[in-house]
Structure 1
Amino acid sequence: MPNMRFRSKPVVFLLLLSFTPPVLADEHAFVLKPTRSLLDLPKPTQATPLFMYADQIKGVKDSQFEATGHVEMRRLGQRVWADYLLYLQQSQELHATGSIRFDQNRNTLLGPELHLNLKTGTGDMPHPRYNLGETNAHGQAESLHIASRENYTLSNATYTTCSADKEDWILKAGTLNINQGTQIGEARDVTISWLGVPFLYSPWMDFPLNSQRKSGFLGPVFGATTKGGSELTVPYYWNIAPNMDATLAPRVMQKRGILLNNEFRYLQPSYTGEVRLNVLPSDMLTKTSRTYFGLKHQQTLPANLLGAINYNYVSDDSYFRDLSDSINSASQINLLREGVLSYNDGGWWNAQMRVQRFQTLQDPAALVVVPYHRTPQISLNALHPIATGTFKFNSEFVDFSHPTAVNGQRVVLYPSISYPLISSPGVFVTPKIGFHSTTYSMGANNAAQLPANQTRSLPIISLDSGLFFDQETSLWNPNYIQTLEPRAYFVHIPYRDQSRLPVFDTAQAGFNFDQIFSENRFIGSDRVGDANQVTTALTSRLLDRESGEERMRFILGQRFSSISPKVNLTIPTGTTNKSDILLGFSARASRTWSMDSLLQYNPSLARNELFNASARYQPEPGKVLNFGYRFMRNTLNIPNNFIDHINVSAQWPLYGRWGSVVRTNFSLHENRLVEGLAGLEYNQDCWTIRMVAQRFAVSTAQASTGFFLQLELNGLVKVGPDPLQTLRQSIPGYTKTNQPPNSASLPNLYD
């Protein structure tokens, strides 16, 4: 500190005290609590004590003081160092010259001269250099006006968050206002230069001094896609209120025209939501107007009710395939339209009513079945303890409607009771009995000529049991515990002929470890599979004794049946009494390596039905390698129809500050690229540039290719599309490498 140097010379100390000792105690209390922000300090008053150090101090009592030689003036939250200082007591005017340093509210101002009124907090400094302690931003100006302790106005000023010795980007403004009260910077006649090259001019702009929301133009977005050509988006963010905002983002596409993207968000104590409206008035390629509308709203209502709306609409089937810039939105098929009203008082029962429809977007080369609408769906569920057991009740009424298929209503009632016979840390046995009843009403003139009214009722009996053993092991590591967890699950469901029942919302369940321990091999209530079967599984894990972290897991399971299942949808379930074998293995071999795998093997046909394997190497943030392979036969038994994909993705530094990102999802069976991404990232202390090229399939016969370039000036603006969401989705473990800017240092004038 400068005052430590002053001690080596003759020092005159002056305390101007016109207040009582508690103020001094408050100042000391602040020193003992460094986490308190200077912005929260009480404003100095006329009675606030003032301390002054100097080689020489002289003055007139109750009039003025004059200090020369290594002057330091200290006041609550303020310090001034100078070669010469004149202080007028009556007006509290301060005039300092020489090598001025003025510290206030974590900010530092350097200059040759300072005029400051300690009573009003206003002042002026010619040719200043400044450092904003809250954001580490700094710069210089022709002149500076101090409007208050939080508000500064600079003329012909510069602004940057780069280090003082390497100012790679600089904002130059005719007028720059820094308001730390509102945490907003406002500039006029603005030019932004990067690496010495001016690339952006604006007559006016404002920017946040921290991460808070504020109104203003966001960085322009440049890009190019095969579907839209060269593109430019200029988004404007409108901070309407603390609980309400909007984003207007016109997107100019060379091949298609101007797509007007609009988003409005709102938040209230009892409701929240967002509205999106995108309009392309005249697509130059299709010669049509194209629109997307989306509404999401959720609201808490009186009497423990909760309402929600999710509505989506597009003007045509190809909207997302033509205009989307990500694989997730381009692959949308069924757009949800539903309204929900639910009741839940936190007790043992709840109810819900839903009206649900879909807009199905068809790909002419691969048509999909339009799902049923639910108009409405009403459910009532309960869960209540009975003695040491549990009573559960599930029920629903659904009115299914479809433009071409059979329509009808379905009522499902399913009460059940489970009762744990044994429940201890090492063993559990839980029997369960239930009665599943389903009633259909379809009318006599339905298109499929099914009976108008049908009922299916059957009991469901199950018994779930398991053991848990553990022991210390030195095979892998003396600090590990190995477990052995056998489990057996029995289900009995009698056969009922269901071939004349409609299929509204039911499908064959995927075969996995969750499904083999469930009662029904179907998803939905239109089919309840007959069963007299036992599922057995064995799990073994390695646990870290100290942290409890799972280091390795091995699981093997298979289902055995005493009957050949007869209930099916359109696909025969086969005559074998043994299911496929499931084998899973996962491990975290070290802090950097992890892997996961699952194998589904058909012993009857001696072939693999499914195999997934993935591995990840991540030694530190910014370094990750992912390897994956996925094979799955088509459940429709269509010859030569299966998934056979290799997936490789990585984020890895190259040389110096350069880094790379890559993602490849390749179909071996179709011999085509499903998704590909490659990019470079250069990270400096105060800016980052990202270049990303992406290609992904939007349909069976079409693909979209795009190239995006983003320049991020830390603490100011992002110019170009933000690829971070795409990178996080495409590359598991991706980490943003540029951190908040380092402190921008100012030279010590007293060295």
Structure 2
Amino acid sequence: MPPVPSILPARSPVGGFALCHAAGAVAALVLLLAADGARAQGAADTAPLQLKPSERLAEQVPADVREQLPTFFFGQRTSGRPNLETVIEGDAMMRRGDTMIQADRLEYDQASDQAKAQGQVRINRAGDVYEGPALELKVDAFEGFFQSPRYQLLRAGAHGQASRADFLDDKRSVLHDATYTTCKRQPGPSWLPDWVLTATTMNLDTEQDVGEAKGGVLRFMDVPVLALPTFTFPLSDARKSGFLPPTVALDNLNGVELLVPYYWNIAPNRDATFYPSVMSKRGVMMGGEFRYMEPTYAGQLRLDYMPTDKLRDRERWSYEAKHSGVIQTGVKGIGNLAFSLDANRVSDNDYWRDFPSTTTSLTERLRTTDANLRWSQGDFSAGLRALKYQTLQDVSAPIVPPYDRLPQITGRYGRYDVGGFDFSVDADYTQFSADRSYTLQPNAKRSFVLGQISRPWVRPGWFFTPKLQLHAAKYEFDAPLASGATSATRTVPTFSIDSGLVFERDANFFGKAWRQTLEPRAFYVNTPYREQNSLPIYDTSATDFNFATIYSENTFTGNDRISDSNVLTLGVDTRLLQPDTGAQVARFGVAQRLRFKDQRVFLPGGAVVDDRVSDFLAGASVNWDPLWSTDATVQYNPDTRRSERFTVSGKYSPGNYRVVSTAYRMQRATSGLPESEQVDVGWQWPLNDLWGDRGQDLGPGRGLGSGRWYSVGRLAYSLQDRQFVDSIMGLEYDGDCWIGRIVVERIQRSNAAANNKIMFQIEFVGLARLGSSPLKTLRDNIPRYQFLREQVTTSSRFGSYE
């Protein structure tokens, strides 16, 4: 960067500045201080400035370059000596880079780079503002002190006051006898914030975005709620090491639970959380979680350990490990391998019942260890998998464990649009093993190959795709079947044709113009019968009967059954689209399967399917208005003339923090599944709407304004059992700078047992959350639930530019 030139006009008698008179005898002083010769020479060797992603000018400009920034002075009267000192009185102002100082009187010594200000002093440093009666400061180093300042921190959205502020540098300061709050300052001398943190000494580090209070007391509604000799708090949403606020939970399983977590910010890509807890009914549990993220891999580890559970009189533990990444082989022709691991284990069969919140598994009684190694290159792909289950058995309700796959080897070769043809070959070798006392069938090694070729014709307005498949499988059993066989083979061909038409027209409904489509579809499948009913079942089940599976070749998932079929599926959809955007507003569809011969392949406990006409499917999805959405599906049995399954759901969301979702689900009894009928309602809604106060929509993550109550909850009621299956109900209050939450959760574990839990939390916005957090419960159970506070934008220093 070239040296800063001196562009001053002819010097006045006081030298070093130009004095101009304006109307009303008010003068504006502009002084550009040039660096001395040594500084100018150093600046000449400095590399050009490069922009970096940062919010602060001080971080954008290197220290040696900052010394070359010009200094601007403004005021009504000025005096001083050239290149020595400058004194400005009356509306005095000094600017350099992102620093602005205002005062009634301002003295600046150029040699020491020290400024002294008195009378209504105000300093703005990159959006952080301090105000008070007197200031002494070395401007570039930002070292000095401020007497009795009031302050505002931009990124934290916080403010307070102190008897004295010592500036150590541009990123660190020490406040004495200080207060700190994010509550908006109200006019009036008697105003007291809803919550305030007081401390004898408060250290603020804006580089680490951490504040440390010594001798600190947190007061809420002028009542002390937390007092510690020393504790730290965030100045932004950036991560930092330290103790997190303790949480207290109450439920009927563990009693009163106190948890004191500690967070360790190891590096930007690694962290750890330790969360020891004490349960009044059980004892002490130690827990920890470690997370990591690298350019080629990432994962997390979690461990919970209880030396002695007083209720079970035994040791309890659980662990969970997740890892995914790329293995760089360095071998040409092989390249990289993708690897993933998901391991989950617990100490005993009762763990899922006693500690339901310690697992992320979708099936509580099944814990998996699943390792995958995958490779792909061009048209080839292959995989190696090891999958093992831990099945948590209940003597009163045992379950059949799924089969471990130790190992499973897969491969695939596929080509598309080769002379208009698509073809692929899939191969699978799996060794299945499980406890035969539960499965009542032998374990096996199974080899499976699926080859298929198709010729799609796709044109505007129609499509036609014939396909030929060949399924081949071989089994080797570790014990003979009922027939005495220790091995078996099966080969099944399948021929299918998928075809359809697409018509469009302009239409007018309800006074609006639409584009309407009519899309009839025909899908034919012919698979000859091959005897398979004597084969064991390892990974196969019946597919759900819906609009996706009715247009498929096989009525089973997995590879142990290939259904014999001579069926034609006929269906038609019609859609309403907005003509200008193409957005779908409504869709209606019907489909039915016509069977030309009996299906003789079935699952154990099943029977021959001899219906010539399947159940009738009808579905609708309507989003007529952006505020409303509705979906419905009906499965109607023409023989019994009743619905076998009916589902209807709707959602109303007129804006942020206003959502109500409802669903009704009915399922007739089928093989292996009991009849069920359930109503589900979930909501988040501001109660102030009831008395006409709709507040102000401040956008996602900012709420609807202060002083507002929100009702939140989800109720799932079983009409069959005449009881609530799951129920969550709660209230949230937005006090602007604090949020209160109380949520009651009840989860039905069986007909006779349920888990009850009360969660209460106070969130001091920008500081900490105290209590047992219900946020994860609300987010997981209420569709479109929104946090009342969430960091969605970053504060900009230009928002506080002066």
Q: TM-score by structure 1 length?
A: 0.93
Number of the residue aligned with 1:38: 57
Number of the residue aligned with 2:26: 10
Distance in 2 between residues matched to 1:11 and 1:669, nearest whole Å = 86
Number of the residue aligned with 1:402: 434
Unaligned runs of 5+ in 2: 1-21, 187-191, 330-334, 689-706, 796-802
- C-alpha spacing 1:339/1:700, structure 2 compared with 1 (3 Å): farther
- Quick check: 1:659 aligned with 2:678? no
Q: Say if 1:87 and 1:94, in contact at 8 Å, map to a contact too.
A: yes
- Say which of 668, 675, 681 aligns to 1:633: 668
Number of the residue aligned with 2:693: none
- C-alpha spacing 1:515/1:16, structure 2 compared with 1 (3 Å): closer
Number of the residue aligned with 1:749: none
- Quick check: 1:288 aligned with 2:300? no
Q: Which amino acid aligns with 1:206?
A: T
Number of the residue aligned with 2:4: none
Counterpart mapping for 1:256-295 below 5 A:
256-295=282-321
Q: Say if 2:352 and 2:365, in contact at 8 Å, map to a contact too.
A: no
- Say which of 626, 629, 649 aligns to 1:594: 629
Deviation, 1:46, is 4.7
Number of the residue aligned with 1:648: 681
Counterpart mapping for 1:444-523 below 5 A:
445-446=479-480, 448=482, 450-523=484-557
Number of the residue aligned with 1:682: 733
Unaligned runs of 5+ in 1: 1-5, 745-751
Q: Say if 1:124 and 1:143, in contact at 8 Å, map to a contact too.
A: yes
- C-alpha spacing 1:155/1:450, structure 2 compared with 1 (3 Å): farther
Q: Say if 2:540 and 2:558, in contact at 8 Å, map to a contact too.
A: yes
Per-residue CA deviation, residues 184-223 of structure 1 (Å, 9 max, x unaligned), is 2222222111111110122222222222211111121111
Deviation, 1:362, is 2.1
Deviation, 1:325, is 4.0
Distance in 2 between residues matched to 1:629 and 1:62, nearest whole Å = 82
Q: Which amino acid aligns with 1:522?
A: F
- C-alpha spacing 1:163/1:92, structure 2 compared with 1 (3 Å): same
Deviation, 1:89, is 2.2
Distance in 1 between residues matched to 2:735 and 2:750, nearest whole Å = 39
- C-alpha spacing 1:10/1:374, structure 2 compared with 1 (3 Å): same
- C-alpha spacing 1:536/1:23, structure 2 compared with 1 (3 Å): farther
Q: TM-score by structure 2 length?
A: 0.87
Deviation, 1:637, is 6.0
Number of the residue aligned with 2:106: 85
Q: Say if 2:454 and 2:465, in contact at 8 Å, map to a contact too.
A: yes
Deviation, 1:408, is 1.0
Per-residue CA deviation, residues 460-507 of structure 1 (Å, 9 max, x unaligned), is 100000110111111235331111001111100000111221111111
Distance in 2 between residues matched to 1:111 and 1:352, nearest whole Å = 69
Number of the residue aligned with 1:203: 229
Number of the residue aligned with 2:10: none
Number of the residue aligned with 2:189: none
Q: Which amino acid aligns with 2:552?
A: S
Number of the residue aligned with 2:8: none
Distance in 2 between residues matched to 1:160 and 1:545, nearest whole Å = 52
Counterpart mapping for 1:5-404 below 5 A:
10-19=26-35, 37-42=56-61, 43=63, 45-165=66-186, 167-301=193-327, 302=329, 303-325=335-357, 332-345=364-377, 347-385=378-416, 386-404=418-436
Q: Say if 1:65 and 1:88, in contact at 8 Å, map to a contact too.
A: yes
Deviation, 1:684, is 1.6
Deviation, 1:636, is 1.4
- C-alpha spacing 1:119/1:532, structure 2 compared with 1 (3 Å): closer
SS in 1 for 2:550: helix
Moved more, 204-213 or 15-24: 15-24
Q: Say if 2:576 and 2:587, in contact at 8 Å, map to a contact too.
A: yes
Distance in 2 between residues matched to 1:186 and 1:538, nearest whole Å = 67
Deviation, 1:41, is 4.3
Deviation, 1:576, is 0.8
Moved more, 260-269 or 705-714: 260-269
Per-residue CA deviation, residues 323-370 of structure 1 (Å, 9 max, x unaligned), is 22489769612111122111112x112001111110011233322111
Q: Say if 1:331 and 1:699, in contact at 8 Å, map to a contact too.
A: no
Deviation, 1:417, is 0.4
* Identity %, equivalent residues: 36
Q: Say if 1:19 and 1:49, in contact at 8 Å, map to a contact too.
A: no
SS in 2 for 1:517: coil
- Say which of 669, 677, 702 aligns to 2:753: 702
- Quick check: 1:619 aligned with 2:638? no
Deviation, 1:524, is 0.9
Moved more, 377-386 or 532-541: 377-386
- Say which of 762, 780, 787 aligns to 1:729: 780
SS in 2 for 1:282: strand
Deviation, 1:36, is 6.4
Q: Give the count of matched residue pairs.
A: 729
- Quick check: 1:417 aligned with 2:438? no
Deviation, 1:390, is 0.6
Deviation, 1:675, is 0.2
Distance in 1 between residues matched to 2:28 and 2:678, nearest whole Å = 81
Q: Which amino acid aligns with 1:402?
A: A
- Say which of 663, 666, 672 aligns to 2:723: 672
Distance in 1 between residues matched to 2:407 and 2:611, nearest whole Å = 40
Deviation, 1:45, is 4.7
Moved more, 493-502 or 697-706: 697-706
Q: Which amino acid aligns with 2:138?
A: N
- C-alpha spacing 1:364/1:549, structure 2 compared with 1 (3 Å): farther
Number of the residue aligned with 1:747: none
SS in 1 for 2:354: helix
- C-alpha spacing 1:330/1:309, structure 2 compared with 1 (3 Å): closer
- C-alpha spacing 1:310/1:597, structure 2 compared with 1 (3 Å): same
Deviation, 1:155, is 1.3
SS in 2 for 1:320: helix
Per-residue CA deviation, residues 277-326 of structure 1 (Å, 9 max, x unaligned), is 10111111111111101111223112321122211111111112112248
Distance in 2 between residues matched to 1:741 and 1:195, nearest whole Å = 29
- C-alpha spacing 1:130/1:637, structure 2 compared with 1 (3 Å): closer
Q: Say if 1:163 and 1:743, in contact at 8 Å, map to a contact too.
A: no
Distance in 1 between residues matched to 2:608 and 2:222, nearest whole Å = 71
SS in 1 for 2:512: coil
Q: Say if 2:281 and 2:310, in contact at 8 Å, map to a contact too.
A: yes
Deviation, 1:722, is 2.4
What root-mean-square deviation, in Å, do the aligned CA atoms of Structure 1 and Structure 2 show? 2.6
Distance in 2 between residues matched to 1:214 and 1:33, nearest whole Å = 23
Deviation, 1:415, is 0.8
- Say which of 573, 589, 592 aligns to 1:539: 573
- C-alpha spacing 1:742/1:511, structure 2 compared with 1 (3 Å): closer
SS in 2 for 1:336: strand
